[in-house]
């Protein structure tokens, strides 16, 4: 999506035909290009909107961009890896990025089988924290 007027018309055409919009910007991202939730609903009242803003749409960190390695540290995942007497260590893959996608996929699937419109704000870091309990904890 872009702010070019011709491309915005194309975006509006696609949105009108779409079932859902999934995005992974900070809270200011969609508003900056002129297609926030309110605008999406004007174009298509049936649209399902899933935002994976790393820090949600409220609070002091809402405009921060979130990356998996940074969120590993903020969620405390790095304290579960590495050697017992050593420093915290990153997970082998960018675990928070995948966990956020899986969490969004489950939320969208649940929305398709649940009637009514729901707007919830839960930053993707909370999805990472919910997965933290499933990680193996070293002795």
For 38-107, the DSSP string reads HHHHHH-TT-EEEE--TT-SSSTTTTS---HHHHHHHHTGGGGSS-TTS-----SS-HHHHHHHHHHHHH
Beta bridge partners of 23: 51
CB atoms within 10 A of CB 21: 20
How do the pLDDT tens digits run along the chain, 139 residues long?
455 555 666 788 889 999 888 888 888 888 888 888 888 999 999 888 888 888 778 888 888 888 888 888 877 778 888 788 888 888 877 777 777 788 788 777 777 777 665 555 555 554 544 444 444 433 3
Residue 36 annotated among the catalytic residues of the structure = no
Among the listed residues 4, 11, 36, 97, the single catalytic one is 97
Whole-number pLDDT of residue 51? 83
Q: What are the tokens at 29?
A: 């991202």
Whole-number pLDDT of residue 116? 62
The CATH topology of domain 5-132 is: Rossmann fold (3.40.50)
Whole-number pLDDT of residue 123? 54
């Amino acid at each position: 999506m872009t702010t070019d007027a011709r491309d915005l018309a194309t975006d509006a055409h696609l949105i009108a035909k779409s079932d859902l919009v999934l995005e992974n910007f900070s809270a200011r991202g969609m508003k900056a290009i002129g297609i926030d939730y309110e605008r999406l609903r004007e174009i298509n009242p049936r649209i399902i909107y899933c935002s994976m803003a790393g820090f949600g749409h409220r609070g002091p960190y809402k405009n921060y961009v979130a990356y998996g390695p940074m969120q590993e540290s903020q969620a405390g995942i790095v304290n579960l890896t590495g050697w017992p007497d050593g420093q915290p260590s990153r997970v082998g893959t960018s675990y928070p990025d995948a966990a956020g996608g899986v969490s969004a996929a489950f939320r969208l699937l649940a929305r398709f089988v649940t009637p009514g419109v729901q707007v919830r704000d839960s930053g993707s870091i909370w999805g990472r924290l919910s997965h933290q309990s499933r990680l193996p904890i070293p002795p």
